[in-house]
A = this chain, B = another copy of it.
Amino acid sequence: MSPNLALNQLVDRRRAAGDPLLHLAFGEARLPLLPGLARELAAGADRTAYGPVAGGEAVRAAAAGYFTRRRLPTGPDQIVVAPGSKPLLAALQLVLPGDVLLPRPAWNTYAPQARYAGKRVFGVPIPRECGGVPEPGVLRDTLRTARAAGHDPRILILTLPDNPTGTLAPPPLVRELCAIAEEEDLLIVSDEIYRDLVHDPRATPYVSPAELAPERTVVTTGLSKTLGLGGWRIGAARFPACARGERIRDGVVSAASELWSTLAGPMQRVAEYALAEPPEIRERFAASARLHGAVARAVHALAVRAGARCAPPTGGFYVYPDFEPLREELAGRGAKDSASLAERLLVDSGIVVLPGHHLGDEPAALRFKAATSLLYGDERQQREALEAGDPVRLPHIAATLTRLEEGFAALTGGTR
């Protein structure tokens, strides 16, 4: 099973048994449901027919508008919606030829999807500055080596902003990777599900590979992260407006028709509403991005203060600290690699994180992913957090931050 979902189930069971865990291992944005979404779901009940595999005209037009407002002019024919972006990413791997190049670490589902598609995965370490993309020089080396060994890497998956590192590749780096994709004839799959959760959009320029390499980039997105709708399963993909793009889209639609049929009708109605981005949706995007940013920065600060290295998070709701500078002290307490580091946090402090090796990272590295979106408390507290000027000072968030600080300190035997 997907290790993050497996861990989530384990944690649910331990919590049900009364264990007060601090669960930071699952990429879920728990936020109150917007009333408009519930309204549209109910209003979509009459959509009981299968309808077109790619989604109805209305939902595809709404998704096209969404992308067009993001400097990606898009027609409805370039869109396929699905029950989550996950099945779209899986279908892309089933349909696209060649092996897969992944940043290392990367979201833990890309690699298993590649295995189901019978593909080989080449993990390329991320640069120091950010995750979600491979380091360009190492990418070139990997391509050379892989081809020399008879493999055929053709698909480059990028995550912008990134899960697990919570960082966003800056435009010059994206540009360099697009240039490599052109030179080396790679197809880019750009997973942009966290795009609307860039913490400070004015300070953080965003460029999609689909702007720079429009004929070789497929973009995926969804509502799970930006609207806290993971359990509703709504995703969309945007295909290039060219013959190649049409071929890939047709292949994905074929796969969809055999694997899941279509996005449920009522969910299509929800997506029509949300992707048209009325004011309350835009406000929620902005408010949740602010909240995620404030809490992710606070956790980042704690990790750095504890002695870890950690790229400052700029999008989404993750931090990915590296405790390498503390290797000696940690070894004394039995934390010698990714797995034992996560185990120490769980056993000593009841803190659940996702160890880096589950994300394709070096098992020997002392790194993990912490999902900071799980600190917002119950629904009333989530609402409070969304509205707060300084959410990290809210008592319930401050208290969990203190617990996290103590947990990090306990790793090296300190008391804070």
Interface residues of A (CB under 8 A from B): 1-2, 5-6, 8-9, 12, 26, 28, 30, 33, 37-38, 41-42, 45-53, 83-84, 86-87, 90, 94, 109, 112-113, 116, 118, 228-233, 250, 253-255, 257-267
Pick the contact of A51: B42, B52, B90, B231 (CB < 8 A): B231
A-B contact pairs, 28 of them (CB 8 A): A1-B53, A1-B250, A1-B253, A5-B53, A5-B257, A9-B52, A12-B52, A26-B50, A33-B45, A37-B45, A38-B42, A38-B46, A41-B41, A41-B266, A42-B42, A47-B231, A48-B231, A48-B232, A49-B230, A83-B83, A86-B258, A86-B259, A87-B260, A90-B258, A90-B259, A112-B258, A232-B266, A233-B260
Given A38-B42, A94-B116, A266-B232; A261-B5 close (CB under 8 Å)? yes
Task: Specify how many copies of this chain sit in the oligomer.
Answer: 2
Q: Could you tell me if A84 and B1 are in contact, using CB atoms closer than 8 angstroms?
A: no
How far apart sit A229 and B113, CA to CA, in the bound complex (Å)? 29
Query: How far apart sit A111 and B263, CA to CA, in the bound complex (Å)?
Result: 22
| A254-B2, A265-B231 known; A50+B259 contact, CB < 8 A | no
* A-B contacts besides A1-B254, A38-B45, A86-B260, 17 pairs, CB < 8 Å: A5-B50, A5-B261, A8-B50, A41-B41, A42-B42, A47-B231, A49-B230, A50-B231, A83-B233, A84-B261, A90-B259, A112-B258, A113-B259, A231-B264, A233-B260, A259-B259, A264-B267
- Residue from B33, B230, B232, B261 within 8 A of A233 (CB atoms): B261
Q: Tell whether, in the assembled complex, residue A260 and residue B258 are in contact, meaning their CB atoms are under 8 Å apart.
A: no
Distance (whole angstroms) from the CB of A194 to the closest CB of chain B: 16
Q: A94 to B84, alpha carbons, bound, how many Å?
A: 20
Closest 3 CB pairs of A and B: A2-B257, A42-B42, A231-B265
**Which B residues lie within 8 Å of A113 (CB)?**
258-259
In the complex the two chains form, is B257's CB within 8 Å of A6's CB? yes
Residues of B within 8 A of A52 (CB): 9, 12
CB distance from A376 to the nearest CB of B (A): 13
Q: With a CB–CB cut-off of 8 A, which chain B residues contact A250?
A: 1
Contact A28 B49 (CB under 8 A): yes
A232 interface neighbour in B33, B255, B264, Cβ under 8 Å: B264
Residues of chain B contacted by A33 (CB below 8 angstroms): 45-46, 48
Q: How far is the CB of A113 from chain B (nearest CB, A)?
A: 6
Would you give the shortest CB distance from A264 to chain B, in whole angstroms? 5
| Contact partners of A258 in chain B: CB under 8 A | 2, 86, 90, 109, 112-113, 116
B261 x A264 contact (CB < 8 A): no
CB-defined contacts of A265 to chain B, threshold 8 Å: 231-232
Interface contact B28-A50, CB-CB below 8 Å: yes
Residue of B nearest to A259 (CB): B90
Question: What is the CB-to-nearest-CB distance from A231 to chain B, in angstroms, rounded to a whole number?
Answer: 4
Query: Cα distance A50–B267 when bound, in Å?
Result: 15
Residue picked from A45, A94, A231, most chain B C-beta under 10 Å: A231
A380 vs chain B, min Cβ distance (A):
14
Contacts of A38 in B (CB 8 A): 42, 45-46
How far is the CB of A364 from the nearest CB of chain B, in Å? 25
**What's the minimum C-beta distance from A85 to chain B, rounded to whole angstroms?**
10
Most buried by B among A8, A30, A116, A267: A116
Asked if A86 contacts B261 (CB within 8 A), the reply is yes
